[in-house]
């Protein structure tokens, strides 16, 4: 089946149009890599991998807005390779301490409309490659927050407050994952409701607007 799909819709690079991959090696080399920046007493650390622009933004858009679902494998590989190359000790620590990746949940109504939660399917790819469990059941979104891009900052804060619930099955060691970090409000609000006796890392693929 994969073969037939490939023949009809060949993968072309979002950067240069070359066929073969959604992001070719040459264009990937030009991608801006970020370090960790966000500090919060409740978390052990945060890794933001790339800047949210150019080919990285295009790659995420393919998955999120154009529903090109097989781009997830490539995105998963890019994230995993970046983690293993730049943060090998952290990855090892996560593996040893059995950290569980928790994708930022999407409200079921929006999930039904789109058909999937992109953070969840990317998290599944990453979990497979770096050998970490993924859990999408222990933090749930209970309110369907307004579409973020159209709201102003204050509205956005009100919208997202109390939007999440933690269930009693929350793992001890958590890597909160989201594809894009814009204001960080979503993740900050999730961190607020996580009990103090948990170890938290934040991992995002891309940061920016």
Would you say 18 or 107 has its CB closer to Zn ion?
18
Most distant pair of Cα atoms in the chain: their distance: 51
Give the number of residues in contact with Zn ion, rule: CB under 5 A: 6
Residue from 24, 49, 102, 130 touching Zn ion (CB under 5 A): that is: 24
Residue from 5, 6, 9, 16 touching Zn ion (CB under 5 A): that is: 16
> With binding defined as CB under 5 A, does residue 27 bind Zn ion?
yes
Question: Interhelix angle for 71-86 vs 88-96, to 10°?
Answer: 100
* Stretch of 15-23, 43-51, 116-124, 125-133 contacting Zn ion, by CB under 5 A: 15-23
Q: How many CB atoms lie within 10 A of CB 133?
A: 11
Would you say 24 or 175 has its CB closer to Zn ion?
24
> With binding defined as CB under 5 A, does residue 25 bind Zn ion?
no
Residues 6+ away with beta carbon under 8 Å from 115? 67
> With binding defined as CB under 5 A, does residue 59 bind Zn ion?
no
Residue from 11, 13, 71, 206 touching Zn ion (CB under 5 A): that is: 13
Would you say 24 or 163 has its CB closer to Zn ion?
24
Asked if residue 104 lies in contact with residue 185, where contact means CB atoms within 8 angstroms, the answer is: no
* Stretch of 18-26, 102-110, 148-156, 192-200 contacting Zn ion, by CB under 5 A: 18-26
Q: Beta 100-103 vs 133-134: how paired, if at all?
A: parallel
Asked if residue 81 lies in contact with residue 153, where contact means CB atoms within 8 angstroms, the answer is: no
Q: What is the binding site for Zn ion (CB under 5 A)?
A: 13, 15-16, 18, 24, 27
């Amino acid at each position: 089946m994969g073969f037939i799909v490939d023949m009809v819709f060949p993968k072309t690079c979002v950067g240069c149009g070359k066929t073969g991959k959604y992001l070719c090696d040459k264009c990937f080399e030009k991608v801006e890599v970020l370090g960790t920046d966000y500090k919060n007493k409740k978390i052990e650390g945060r890794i933001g991998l790339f800047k949210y622009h150019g080919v990285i933004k295009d790659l995420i858009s393919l998955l999120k807005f154009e529903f090109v679902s097989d781009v997830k494998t490539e995105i998963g590989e890019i994230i995993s390779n970046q983690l293993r190359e730049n943060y090998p000790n952290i990855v090892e620590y996560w593996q040893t301490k059995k950290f569980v990746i928790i994708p930022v949940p999407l409200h079921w109504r929006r999930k039904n409309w789109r058909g999937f939660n992109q953070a969840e399917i990317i998290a599944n790819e990453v979990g497979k490659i770096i050998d970490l469990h993924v859990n999408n059941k222990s933090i749930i979104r209970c309110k369907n927050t307004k579409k973020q891009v159209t709201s102003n900052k204050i509205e956005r804060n009100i919208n997202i407050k109390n939007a999440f619930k933690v269930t009693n099955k929350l793992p001890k060691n958590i890597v909160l994952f989201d594809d894009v970090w814009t204001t960080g409000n979503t993740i900050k609000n999730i961190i607020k409701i996580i009990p103090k006796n948990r170890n938290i890392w934040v991992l995002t693929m891309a940061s920016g607007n």
